[in-house]
Amino acid sequence: MKRTICFRLAALIIITPILISSQQFSSRFIKDSPDYYWGEAKSSEVQEAEAKALAMLTGLIAKRVTSNFKSVVKEEGRKVEETVENILETYSTATLKNVERDVQPIDGEYRVFLYILKKEVEKIFDTRREVIGYIFNNAEQFDREKHYTYALKSYYFALLLINSLPDQMVKHRGYNLTTEIPKRINSIIADVKFKLTSDKLISDKERELIFDITLRDKSVQSLDFFFWDGTNQVSVSAADGQGVCRLYGASVKFPKLDLDIKTKYFECKDEIKEVSELWDLVVHPTFRSDKKIQLEVEKKITQVKEANNAQTVISEVEPAKNVTNISQGRFNLQLTNGGGCDQSIADKIQTEALVLLELINNKDIKQINDRYSNDPFIQKKIQEIMKYNDISVVDNSIQANLNKFYSGWEIRKVRVHNNYSSLNKQTTEYLILDFDNDGKLYDINFGILENLYEKFVRAGNDGNDWGNRQVIIKFMEKYRTSYLSRDLATIDSLFADEAVIIVGRVLEKNKKKDVSSFYNQIPNVEYLRLNKDEYLKRQKTIFQNNKDIYIGYSTFNIIQKNKQPGVYGLSLRQNYNSTGYADEGYLFLLIDFEEALPQIYVRSWQPQEWDEKELIKLSNFNLNK
């Protein structure tokens, strides 16, 4: 059924400089007055003259504040004053809102005269303080949720921006952020504890280390850290209180591991425009974040592959009600049957899961092709997940749940380790295995974090809509996996033909169909609007041009549309990392779950966005059925 999305565009308020005629003021008076900064330039192009005049005005302001910046600027062959001018140029957008101008045509050229009251200059810096406040608020929220990856990154970026203020001082909600942020960063570093729980030699060239990671006796939800492998600093993303490190080659013999908690996110500097512009201009805060972990090398190497004719063994005595153990090859799978699955079907699912995990871990593409020759979809999906994520199963002994789902059964959660070599990045993920009602494998995806899943279970039970939320979770896991496995066909199927994809900062009218609009006031920004075909073409190019792509979410919220059953908005804070590029921003999806196959009708991506008032939300849209 065709859907349309309605909107009403609110009037955009455009802030423009004040145009003052030569009769209303005297440029000589401005130049002679001690109360103004000014800049002047001529060119045949108005924009060029204005840019030169702005540079002159910025230079005058720089002379006044240079002494305040001497302790925080990077000189690197430049004069301090030159660096300060570059810092002040990062304020150009805010500066233009406070600058008045006069444009006069003279002898075939344009003379642009810009000026600003000195007492207005402080308002320029107030804009930067507001940005710092927004980022600090986000860092606090991540801190409370124990997402220390994003808390540390946000704290660090806010602190870097403070170095672009003449007084390096921000008062925010009663805090002096100049001292408060370093205190919080140091507190996190000091209180993080790594406990080595597993040290396995998988082969003479590969070793696996597993850590429990806590902060003040609570499991961290996310934390990034480095370890030195003898050649490179390898980044590890820990999740749900555990971090997994894989050592290769000579590093398998390390008697200790040198860890560093990550605080400085160079590859993510472009996530916030001001941070990117300032990165090479101001001194970077430094923090002592190293941890040393003593290791013990096992005397015997754990074999990855058991005998090829290893038999499946089902426990005669169940360890608990509705729990069965099956062992095959390297793995033992303890499955909790919480959905009331018939035992014969449960045993079939359990056995099939073990076969799949063994094939994945052995990276046996030939046997995968043979095993799933009658199911090209599963055959291709397993191969692409392995190819693009360098996946391996973490635990020999796996404890997982067998849950009822509307189309069958799912095994949740099997912990795996992903390796992205060009990013020097290792992550811990969960595999979710889907089976039909007869116990046949029909899909495989990367799952959301366990604590987030449990949060949605509680919310679904409280709101009596767990069935809908379970579908939404499955949908989002399929959505994310389709990008991690570069599955354009699945991405195509998830978007409605009338879908509107909003990215970037420039608005282009979709002349083929008027399928989307805002009926409430939209944020005061402009976006690039793509139709489905344009978006898929663009995504195909991205997939082809990057060796590694990683996508993760730091927040994930589900909002139901009032008076429209089955219509939900999903808002996520997404971090994107690919070979040579990183970004973070706000992802919003408007999805109709009433159809047989849920469909995305709106996808908006707002990179580098931190201000809540500027975010596209569910309330901006109405889906007409």
Q: How confident is the model at residue 454 (pLDDT cuts 50, 70, 90)?
A: confident
Distance CA 21, CA 272 (A): 38
Per-residue model confidence (pLDDT) at position 424: 86
Q: How far is it, in rounded angstroms, from Cα 405 to Cα 570? A: 21
E strand or H helix that includes residue 535: helix 532-544
In-domain check, residue 63: yes
Look at residues 86, 103, 123 and tell me which one is the last residue of a structural domain: 123
Q: Do 321 and 383 share a structural domain?
A: yes
Q: Are 530 and 606 in a shared domain? A: yes
Inter-residue contact 218 to 148 (CB < 8 Å): no
Average pLDDT of 224-253? 91
Supply the pLDDT for residue 25. Answer: 61
How many C-beta neighbours within 10 Å does residue 15 have?
Answer: 8
| Last residue within a domain, chosen from 105, 123, 141 | 123
Residue 520's φ and ψ, nearest 5 degrees, are -110, 175
Q: What is the reported pLDDT for 468? A: 78
The domain in which residue 497 lies consists of 4-9+488-624
Q: Return the pLDDT at 515.
A: 32
Domain final residue pick, 99, 123, 147: 123
Q: So what's the pLDDT on residue 521?
A: 42
What is the arithmetic mean of pLDDT over 295-314? Answer: 43
CATH number for 47 = 3.10.28.20
pLDDT classification of 172: cutoffs 50, 70, 90: very high
pLDDT at 483: 94
pLDDT of residue 464: 75
Residue 404 placed within a domain: yes
CATH number, domain with residue 571: 3.10.450.50
Handedness of CA 269, 275, 276, 282 (dihedral sign): negative
> CA-CA-CA-CA torsion for 68, 70, 74, 77, nearest 10 degrees?
130
**DSSP readout, 310-378?**
PPPEE-SS-SSTTEEEEEETTEEEEEEETT---HHHHHHHHHHHHHHHHHHHTT-HHHHHHHTTT-HHH
Residue 307's closest CA among 292, 327, 287? 327
CA angle 244, 237, 418 (to 5 degrees): 65
Length in residues, the chain: 625
Locate 157 and state its tokens: 């970026």
The DSSP line for 135-204 is HHHHHHHHHHTTBHHHHHHHHHHHHHHHTTSTT---EETTEEHHHHHHHHHHHHHHHEEEEEEEEEEEET
pLDDT at 244 over 90: yes
Environment class of 215 (CB within 10 Å of its CB; exposed 0-12, middle 13-18, buried 19+): buried
Q: Are 367 and 329 in contact (CB under 8 A)?
A: no
Q: Above 50 in pLDDT, residue 4?
A: no
Q: Does residue 254 form part of some domain?
A: no
> What would the two tokens of residue 355 be?
């076969």
Q: What is the enclosing helix (H) or strand (E) of 558?
A: strand 549-560
Mention every residue, 6+ apart, whose C-beta is less than 8 A from residue 562: none
Which whole number is the average pLDDT over 26-43? 91
Q: What's the pLDDT score for residue 546?
A: 93
Coil vs helix vs strand at 27: helix
344, 435: one domain: yes
Q: Quick count: other Cβ atoms within 10 Å of Cβ 440?
A: 15
Q: Looking at the domain assignment, is residue 252 inside a domain?
A: no
> What's CA 390's distance to the chain center, in Å?
20
End-to-end, the C-alpha distance of the chain in Å comes to 8
Task: Give the predicted TM-score (pTM) of the model.
Answer: 0.76
For residues 394 and 515, membership in a common domain is answered with no
Rg (CA), the chain: 28
Query: How would you list the strands of the sheet with 528-530, edge to edge?
Result: 528-530, 495-503, 599-607, 581-592, 567-578, 549-560
Q: Is the pLDDT of residue 17 over 50?
A: no
Strand, coil or helix: 507: coil
Tell me which residue has tokens 């590694």: 548
For residue 492, is it within any domain?
Answer: yes
Q: How many CB atoms lie within 10 A of CB 351?
A: 16
Residue type, 72: V
Residue 308 within a domain: no
Which phi and psi angles does 256 have, rounded to 5°? -150, 160
Domain assignment of residue 294, yes or no = no
Convert the pLDDT of each residue in 410-438 to its tens digit.
999 899 999 998 888 999 999 999 999 99
Residues 417 and 517 in one domain: no
- In this structure, the answer to whether residues 524 and 602 fall within a common structural domain is yes
Q: How confident is the model at residue 191 (pLDDT cuts 50, 70, 90)?
A: very high
Question: pLDDT tens digit string along 544-601?
Answer: 999 999 998 877 888 876 666 778 888 888 888 888 777 777 888 888 877 667 888 8
Distance of CA 402 to the CA centre of its chain: 29
535 with 599, same domain: the answer is: yes
Q: Where are the beta strands (DSSP E) in 204-330?
A: 206-215, 218-219, 222-228, 233-239, 242-248, 256-261, 290-294, 313-314, 323-328
Model pLDDT for residues 109-128, shown as the tens digit of each residue: 999 999 988 888 877 788 88
Instruction: Say how many C-beta atoms besides its own lie within 10 A of residue 528's C-beta.
Output: 15
Mean pLDDT of 11-24: 37
Of 327 and 378, the structure prediction assigns the larger pLDDT to 378
Mean residue pLDDT across the chain: 82
Say how far residue 600 (Cα) sits from the centre of its chain: 20
Angle made by CA atoms 520, 524, 530, in degrees to the nearest 5: 80
- Taking residues 319-344, what's their average pLDDT? 80
pLDDT at 443: 94
- Tally of domains within the chain: 3
Question: What is the DSSP code (8-state) at residue 245?
Answer: E
CA dihedral (361, 363, 364, 366) in degrees, to 10, reads 140
Instruction: Select, from the ranges 80-89, 552-561, 616-625, the one with the highest average predicted confidence (pLDDT).
Output: 80-89
- Res 504: pLDDT: 46
Residues 498 and 429 in one domain: no
- Whether 525 is covered by a domain: the verdict is yes
Average pLDDT over residues 497-526: 46
Q: How far apart are CA 18 and CA 113, in angstroms?
A: 12
Find the mean pLDDT for residues 351-357. 94
Least confident of 139-153, 298-312, 359-373, 469-483: 298-312
Asked whether residue 553 falls in the same domain as residue 429, the answer is no
Q: Identify whether residues 329 and 411 lie together within a single domain.
A: yes
What pLDDT does 38 receive?
A: 93
- Residue 322 shares a structural domain with residue 410: yes
Are 411 and 506 within one domain?
A: no
Higher-confidence residue of 277 and 302: namely: 277
- Residue 77: pLDDT band by 50, 70, 90 thresholds? low
Please give the pLDDT value at position 148. Answer: 96
